[in-house]
Structure 1
Amino acid sequence: MNSSLDLGLIGNCQVGALIDSAAEIVWYCLPRFDGDPVFNSLLQEHETGSGKGYCSIELLEQIRTEQSYLSNTAVLVTRFTDTQGGVIEITDFVPRFRQHGRMFTPMMLVRQVRRLQGTPFIRICVRPTYDYGREACDITYGSHHIRYVSPDWVLRLTTDASITTILQELPFFLEDQVTLIFGMDETISEPISELARRFLVETIGYWHDWVHDLGIPFEWQDEVIRAAITLKLNAFDDTGAIVAAMTTSVPEAPDSGRNWDYRYCWLRDAYFVVNALNRLSATRTMERYLRYLVNVVAGSSGGRIQPVYGIDGQKYLEERKIETLAGYRGMGPVRVGNQAYEQIQHDVYGSVILAVTHVFFDQRLIRRGDAALFHRLEPLGETAIQVHDQPDAGLWELRGTKRIHTFSAVMCWAACDRLAKIAARLGLSEREAYWKAQAELIHAAVCARAWNDHKKAFTAAFEGDSLDASLLLMHDVGFLTADDFRFAATVAAIERELRHGDYIFRYVEEDDFGAPENAFIVCTYWYIHALVALGRNDEARQLFENLLSRHNRHGLFAEHLDVRTGEQWGNFVQTYSMVGLIHSAIRLSKRWDAAF
């Protein structure tokens, strides 16, 4: 197996799985996104017929592979052809549909293998592990099932294939079709193939209905729909949390040591996700996330919040290294947990209040914001006032240094600015005046201390001289108008110092791990947004089309891009990157009423 990020994501907002172009399940965590990866060959390479932590379906003498999603769904289809003209089709999905008045999202993964022509000779290998690949599971079995047992859970495979051929990994001729259903240790009473067929039909119907209700731009519709589905799959329905990515420890660059666990909810990332989905009229994900967020705020102490929490709201995400997995392409370490929960990142106050602002202004929402919720947000604003000019780790989560980051201060301004707007909406004139005054004070401080007259740009930190791509967002969050000369000048400075070919680096100075080697994908999208704001649409379109050409075969992005080879690096699928795609398409697309 040659690891790459040419992967497809399937899921149901309870569990998710990554499948490579050879139809191998390379990543699948149970019982939820941040759980034990029972299939983990993404971080543990193996030779054909050996290794552990994967599920593969192999066509012997295979010569051709095709793979794609069923249109407007999260159902992945892989087609293999062998040297004799035999063809099989593998359909992978995770059930999600409405049943008995509620959403049915079982901890289940379904694989259907169907003969299309010829006499295909296949082999099925199922090798789950537990405790991050430390041990192979104990196995028991019956006439139509195999139980893979760990100390903490049981994964049950129910199938109409020969149990012996799976247990012994024996090749066999596929006469018609076989079905594999991975799930909880529960008996399936109806015929396996019929259950899988019914679940597939219902799941396809769910996704078609969901996509049907999206408000999408005229151009790049397929790309936007795929990005929207992907963002949806990264939302954990049970609590409303949104993970930054499905994986841990895919390095940002080869042998960089920049290997982090992204299976948690960064409040900053989640704000960008719900904002993008809201722009597409997918409001339910936002409503669930806002419930999660309100609970996080309620559990905070003295108006202080962390940048990241567990998907269950857990505060403590102790970071540790896993020795049992070698890492992506052998590039360890593999980490579980994330030390960022201990960091001070002041931009988080703006991220929270920007997200919650929707509740006060969006008439589509069932539960609207009121004065009580506003007053619960005010302590966060007070904290933003206190910390806007204090050092922090910044949004890039520097581990060895602290500075007064300009972006953090801008987001503290955004917290106060939005509180003023909410107060005006609620008719609370005294609170509106208070928060407007606080926003003006922070705005003045940023303009006085972060503007570098020599560079003719806002810099990454107060009284600094280095640049940071996050400053491209100063217009997006409303801190600067598009016609403010300082915005255009800052964009020009970033072009000079952070642009490498058609891509923008987040920064170029050395950090705890040396100088960044790859471009952070979302930064190029931010640059595109800035170009559109400045009226440079032709340049923006060209950069956008180039970025689209760099996604994988399914239209999915990781976090980083090698500017020389175009290869993707970093955790996958990265929600930040998919958000950037959506926002860029919305900004650049022709209007529907002007498209014909």
Structure 2
Amino acid sequence: MARHVYETGLIGNCSYLAHVHKNTNIAWLCWPRFDSSFVFGSLLDEKKGGEFSIKPSGDFTSHQYYLENTNILCTEITTETGKYRVTDFAPRYEQYDRYFKPLMLVRKIEPLEGNPHIKIVCNPVYNYGKTALKSVRGSNHINYTGCEEKMRLTTNATISYIVEDQYFILKETKYVVLTYGEPLEAAVGTTSEIFLDKTISYWRTWIKRSSIGDFNQDYVIRSALALKIHQYEDTGAIIAASTTSLPEFPGSGRNWDYRYCWLRDTYYVINALHHIGHFEETEKYFDYITDISFEEGLRYQPLYSISRQKDLTENIADHLEGYLGNGPVRIGNQAYEHIQNDIYGQALISLLPLYTDHRFVFSERKDSAHLVEMALKRIEHTIDEKDAGIWEFRNSAFMHCYSNLFQWAGCSAALKIAKTINNKELEEKATSLMNRAAKHIEDCYDPVRKVYTHAVGSPYLDASTLQLIMMNYLDPNSQRAKDHLIALENELKTPSGLFYRYLHTDDFGKPESTFLICAFWYVEALACVGRIDDAIREFDKLMPYANHLMLFSEDVDEKDGSMWGNFPQAYSHVGLMNAAYRISNKLNKPLYLSTEMVK
């Protein structure tokens, strides 16, 4: 059976994200926001998802790649009659002391060889495929109506051929620009080239300003570029993935909407970007989490919308067939109702660099004491209760080791912040709560097996407890840390280097696919305990699980290496970056300050 691979690449500009298939079709694009209805959604339903493609009349082969160190994607199509290249990008560059990042998709179509015979198809939809937009022809454009704002296709290609669904010979470079809301009124060819040059320059400058070690640098660069465009810059929120309902395994029913901001996930993303020397994202997220902190009571939700909306009611879009026929398609995520008590600590850790890294001026942070005090109150309110945990169990609650670990780590961060702002009362509160959290963690320890289980009173093991080592709750040089790691790898690691989250039955039965970030956590833990050769070997084993563009999915099938789950998954790329960072620091002296928690 052939390995299943996602054959799309991702483009974006921190206002929107789009998936471009190897066949040139825009397989996924939500406008005007990450969590809006798709405009093109053939990823979930080929009949109702619309189409925006530039395909040839006959059989073809495809070669897809990114322009080096950018989020600009090229797809080269070769046919019997000729060859052409489609360059897709979302404009982004600095202008007037801010970023120009319009809801605009630019497609440059260049003939490379012979006389390629092509057809441009643009049929957007809305309301998740329930509404086919009405097209109205203009002089050099097509207007599409039926969604919240007007969409316009502006081009120097022959409008009649697009409207009448005709093929034509591509003799010269054509440009097709699709906009939402504000249309492109300037010269399409000249303007597209200006946007392209400035966007190339922006991304390459962003990478040049990154502190990235030599270890697997190409993969780290691609992961960093992918992570960057998962931040919705208008609010600072960072989403888990751009897609919804790509199944964790065929027929599993584990299809989730990931187009939201999980406070837990964001901690890992911020940490990874901070490791490579990017701080703007942290400061933007600080504003996002600060607003949540001041608006909420004693509980955070585990996730919010990109504009901090709280109601993410989960609905089934039963009119859509789902990815490769795998339903259900979910819009919204019921996990917003869950009790997940690790998030308070992770919110605090996300903010720690703003106070402990001297490249930030902490005195610029307003209401610091109040922010930390409220976070500690939330930890105190939840520290002794059971929760749904990191894996969001829907019908069971435990006193999870992972949740208490991040309560401990959050209090450790609060202690550091309190010392920075010279607040003795907060120091005492943080220390007291750290000790309470540590007591719960120790209640998870099994002295016979020399391992921490996933929850108090439970015999089951869980890859999330690898974080006990990475967060320095366990001294990485201690025998207890090394024994814990050995016990986890003996039970949860596969021969191919993949790692299961856990193997016990949950709400949907036993997991059938491995969770990629767990494998990267394993690599990171290996590096922490000094098993550097093992860490490098296991890291190298994971690289072939990427697609043709070095993009990684959420889940991987142990049997054949198939990619499953939402794609590309921020978690997986974060795991890669943090694992590479750990290995680089072991091989070389670090190039930048570490934000690791220190016991």
Q: TM-score, normalised by structure 2?
A: 0.95
Give yes or no for contact 1:392–1:404 (8 Å, CA) kept in 2.
yes
Question: Partner letter of residue 233 of structure 1?
Answer: I
Contact 1:488 1:534 in 2 (8 A): yes
Matches of 2:354 and 2:321, distance apart in 1: 45
The alpha carbon displacement at 1:151 in A equals: 4.2
Counterpart of 1:126 in 2: which secondary structure? strand
C-alpha distance in 2 between matches for 1:266 and 1:534 = 29
Query: Once the 2 structures are TM-superposed, how far is the Cα of residue 187 of structure 1 from its aligned partner?
Result: 4.6
Give ranges in structure 1 of 5+ residues lacking alignment. none
1:458 is matched with 452
Q: What is the alpha-carbon distance in structure 2 between the residues aligned to residue 485 and residue 472 of structure 1? A: 14
What RMSD over aligned residues (CA atoms) do the two structures have, in Å?
1.8
Matched ranges for 1:63-82 at <5 A? 63-82=60-79
SS in 2 for 1:330: coil
Decide whether the 8 Å contact of 1:77 with 1:89 is kept in 2.
yes
For each residue in 1:439-490, what CA deviation from the matched residue of structure 2 results, as whole angstroms up to 9, or x when unmatched?
123213321x111123221110012110110000012222111123322222
**Count of matched residue positions in the alignment of Structure 1 and Structure 2:** 587
**SS of the residue aligned with 1:478?**
coil
Distance 1:52 1:376 in 2: 44
Q: Read off the aligned partner of 1:242 and give its amino acid letter.
A: I
Partners of 2:39 and 2:366 in 1: how far apart? 46
Q: Which amino acid aligns with 1:166?
A: I
Q: Give the whole-Å Cα distance in 1 for the aligned partners of 2:183 and 2:510.
A: 54
Shift of 1:185: 4.4
Equivalent position of 1:407 in the other structure: 402
Q: How does 1:5-24 map to 2 (within 5 A)?
A: 5-24=6-25
Q: 1:3, 1:42 within 8 Å by CA — same for their partners in 2?
A: no
1:266 to 259, 262, 266: 262
Distance 1:438 1:392 in 2: 18
Paired with 1:164 and 1:267, the residues of 2 have a C-alpha distance of: 49
Q: Which amino acid aligns with 1:165?
A: Y
Deviation at 1:6, TM superposition (A): 2.3
Alpha carbons 1:359, 1:368 under 8 Å: kept: no
> Counterpart in 1 of 2:594?
none
Q: How does 1:367-516 map to 2 (within 5 A)?
A: 368=363, 372-447=367-442, 449-501=443-495, 502-516=497-511
Task: Please name the residue that 1:311 is paired with.
Answer: 306
Give unpaired runs (5+ residues) of structure 2: 592-599
Q: 2-side partners of 1:13 and 1:89: how far apart?
A: 25
Task: Tell me if 1:103 matches 2:99.
Answer: yes
Separation (CA, whole Å) in 2 of partners of 1:593 and 1:209 = 24
Residue 221 of structure 2 aligns with an amino acid whose one-letter code is I
Shift of 1:324: 2.4
**Equivalent residue number for residue 34 of structure 1:** 35
Deviation sequence 1:55-77 (CA, Å, 0-9, x none): 11112234321110000001001
**In the alignment, which residue of structure 1 is the partner of 2:516?**
521
Listed as ranges, the matches of 1:9-158 within 5 Å are 9-46=10-47, 52-84=49-81, 86-158=82-154
Structure 2 residue aligned with 1:277: 273
Deviation string 1:541-578 (CA, Å, 9 cap, x unpaired) is 11111111110111111100011111110011111100
The answer to whether the 8 Å contact 1:276/1:582 transfers is yes
Question: Quick one: distance in 2 between partners of 1:592 and 1:197?
Answer: 41
CA distance in 2, matches of 1:197, 1:440: 59
Evaluate the alpha carbon distance shift between residue 14 and residue 186 of structure 1 in structure 2; reply closer, same or farther with a 3 A threshold: closer
Pick closer, same or farther for the CA change 1:594–1:446 going to 2, 3 Å: closer
Q: Could you tell me how far apart the structure 2 residues matched to 1:594 and 1:367 are? A: 23
DSSP 3-state at the match of 1:328: coil
Distance 1:111 1:510 in 2: 47
Q: How many angstroms does 1:370 deviate by?
A: 5.2
The residue identity in structure 2 corresponding to 1:469 is A
> Offset of 1:114 from its aligned partner?
0.8
2:536 is equivalent to residue 535 of structure 1 = no
Aligned to 1:298: 294
CA distance in 2, matches of 1:446, 1:511: 22
Matched, 1:547 2:547: no
> Partners of 2:557 and 2:311 in 1: how far apart?
33
Which amino acid letter does the alignment assign opposite residue 438 of structure 2? H
Structure 1 CA distance, aligned partners of 2:219 and 2:363? 32
Are residue 195 (structure 1) and residue 181 (structure 2) matched? Answer: no
Identity of aligned residues (%): 38
User: Are positions 1:181 and 2:172 aligned together?
Assistant: no
Name the SS for the 1:329 alignment partner.
coil
Is the alpha carbon distance of 1:164 and 1:299 closer, same or farther for their aligned partners in structure 2, counting shifts above 3 Å?
A: same
Distance 1:121 1:580, change over 3 A: same
8 Å CA contact 1:45–1:330 kept in 2: the answer is no
8 Å contact from structure 2 (residues 43, 49) kept in 1: no
- Cα distance change, pair 263–594 in 1 and its aligned pair in 2 (3 A): closer
The equivalent residue for 1:560 is: 555
Structure 2 residue identity aligned to 1:223: Y
**Separation (CA, whole Å) in 2 of partners of 1:443 and 1:318:** 35
Distance 1:36 1:531 in 2: 42
Q: Secondary structure at the match of 2:470?
A: coil
Give the aligned residue type for 1:78.
Answer: T
In structure 1, the residue corresponding to 2:231 is in which secondary structure?
coil
Structure-2 change in CA distance of 1:95 and 1:134 (3 Å): same
Query: Is 1:341–2:336 an aligned residue pair?
Result: yes
- In structure 2, the CA distance between the partners of 1:462 and 1:575, relative to structure 1 (3 Å rule), is same
TM-score (norm 1): 0.95
Does the Cα contact within 8 Å between 2:243 and 2:258 map onto a contact in 1? yes
Aligned-pair CA distance for 1:3: 8.6
Whether the aligned pair in 2 keeps the contact of 1:526 and 1:580 (CA below 8 Å) is yes
Paired amino acid for 2:421: L
TM-superposition CA deviations, 1:165-194 (whole Å, max 9, x none) = 112221100110111101034453322111
Letter in 2 for 1:11: G
Once the two structures are TM-superposed, the CA of residue 356 in structure 1 deviates from its matched residue by: 1.1
The residue matched to 1:146 in structure 2 has which SS? strand
Looking at structure 2, the residues matched to 112 and 329 of structure 1 have their Cα atoms a distance apart, in angstroms, of 30
Whether the aligned pair in 2 keeps the contact of 1:110 and 1:181 (CA below 8 Å) is yes
Which residue number in structure 2 is paired with residue 165 of structure 1? Answer: 161
Cα distance between partner residues in 2 of 1:540 and 1:45: 41
